[in-house]
Amino acid sequence: MTDVVADTRFIRHALPPRICHLDRLLHALKARDLDGIVATTALNVYYLTSFNGVAHKSDEPRPYAVIISRHQPDHPILVIAEYYLASFLTQPSWVEDVRPFRGVMLPIDRPPEQDEIERFIPKDAAGVDWIAQARKRYAFSQAEAMRQALSDLKLDQGRVAFDDMGFGVRLDIEGMTVTDGYDPMMFARAVKTETEIGLLERSTALNETAIRRTMAAWDKGATWRDLNRAYAIAVSELGGFVRDPGGMVWGHPRGADPTLMLSNCLEDSEVKPGTHVMFDCHGTLDLYCWDGGKTWVVEGEPEAGAKTFSDATGKVAQMLVDEMKPGVRISELQTKGRDIYRKEGVPDPGLALVFFHGLGLSHMDVELTTADGQPNGDWMLEENMMAPVHLLYPGGEHERIWLEDVIHVTKDGGRPLFSWGFDPLIR
């Protein structure tokens, strides 16, 4: 082990039993005339229960589901494969009604038996109250456990939202109306709890540290593939995770080519001195996303036209951060951003990209359709949203200027999570 892993800021610990914004979820259910919601996707289950399961892949049948009734919000139920049961002994959850079902590990060539659950219960936990209740509710299939839980909450005759409608359809409960649960969940996730804000501050700090380490790892002759690898190594050493195929998002055309393109992580040309590297990096820590970065001028600084683009971008960023208050719509910010570029004398303000999205457990966390059925493309900022600001003035490899900062929306304006300001990185 090397000393680079000694940064204790990013060591993972157990989370609070509840990190979700339950009141907003209940509000969303009432506004849409829904009796309850069933979450089965990994991120939503984590959001609602604090459970982060190891090993499961996104396109596999999901071995967990959390059920919340609007009429009994203090009685959530978690249905989960029995092999995950012991996880809750180290990561507590506010959900106390945990109902295990017989999972894929046990043999299908023999009849199921009720005492098989004991294989998954640690000896020193046998007397824990919720474990004892879970033992009594052991079911031989997920569908059986789900039908019983929905019946117990009186949702089997109600309007129930599912974040995966196919899961709800496959349950085939005759009296239950299955609806789409994407927007209610995104409405709840859009505004962050205090715990979530702390997790996003932490993940952003990891990204900033990893970018600085990547810069320090560059040497003459290094390629884009080397840079991507250096970033992934830095993230891993710090305790974070990047998604296959890589964590650096923007592509970097060479020469005077101003094309906007994303990386496919196959680029292997040399990163030469003077190159404008656009660090837009994605990854997660405790499943909470980081995003962003800014321009690094390799062994140099912005010159000629690039200096104008850089200065203008910094002024746009500062204006936008000041203006990011509750009640402001994204289109208003875009208009104001282009106006600043125009005033600063860039050749064609219309070429500048000024865009936003939510950030949390995904790079969206904003509902697509409001409770009254209207498209939510031009969404409105709310206090304690996280909304990354993206600014790009395109150009060739010695001109392009990129800046993305993660902004915490407060009643007094935006609070940037990066510590390094809006000027390009220079080394």
Instruction: State pTM to two decimals.
Output: 0.96
Please report the pLDDT score of residue 1 as a whole number.
37
Written as one string, the DSSP assignment of 66-129 is EEEESS-TT--EEEEEGGGGGGGGTS--S--EEEEE--TTS-SSS---GGGGGGGS-GGGTT-H
Tokens 């407060």 correspond to 410
Tokens 């830095």 correspond to 234
* Structural element, H or E, at residue 383: none
Task: Return the CA Rg of the chain.
Answer: 24
297, 426 in Cβ contact below 8 A?
yes
> What is residue 323's three-state secondary structure?
helix
| Average pLDDT over the chain, rounded to an integer | 96
76, 148 in Cβ contact below 8 A?
no
Average pLDDT on 68-90 reads 97
* CA dist list (Å): 85 to 107, 126, 320, 360, 407: 18, 12, 46, 26, 37
Written as one string, the DSSP assignment of 193-214 is PHHHHHHHHHHHHHHHHHHHHH
In whole angstroms, what is the distance from residue 101 CA to residue 67 CA?
A: 15
> What is residue 407's three-state secondary structure?
strand
Average pLDDT on 50-78 reads 94
Give residue 5's identity as a one-letter amino acid code: V
Average pLDDT on 378-383 reads 98
CATH of 194-426, picked from 3.20.20.70, 3.90.230.10, 3.40.50.720, 3.40.50.300, is 3.90.230.10
What number does CATH give the domain 22-190?
Answer: 3.40.350.10
Q: Residue 245: is the preceding peptide bond cis (ω within 30°)?
A: yes
427, 305 in Cβ contact below 8 A?
no
As given in the structure block, the two tokens for residue 189 are 């996730």
Residue 6 has pLDDT above 80, yes or no: no
Q: What are phi and psi of 293, to 5 degrees?
A: 145, -155
93, 106 in Cβ contact below 8 A?
no
Residue 4 has pLDDT above 60, yes or no: no
Residue 5 has pLDDT above 60, yes or no: no
CA angle 25, 291, 415 (to 5 degrees): 75
Distance of CA 293 to the CA centre of its chain: 16
pLDDT band at residue 236 under the 50/70/90 scheme: very high
Give domain limits for the chain: 22-190, 194-426
pLDDT band at residue 132 under the 50/70/90 scheme: very high
Average pLDDT on 217-234 reads 97
Residue 425 has pLDDT above 90, yes or no: yes
Strands 389-393 and 353-356 turn out to be: antiparallel
- Give the tens place of pLDDT for each residue, 383-421: 999 999 999 999 999 999 999 999 999 999 999 999 999
CA angle 96, 46, 287 (to 5 degrees): 145
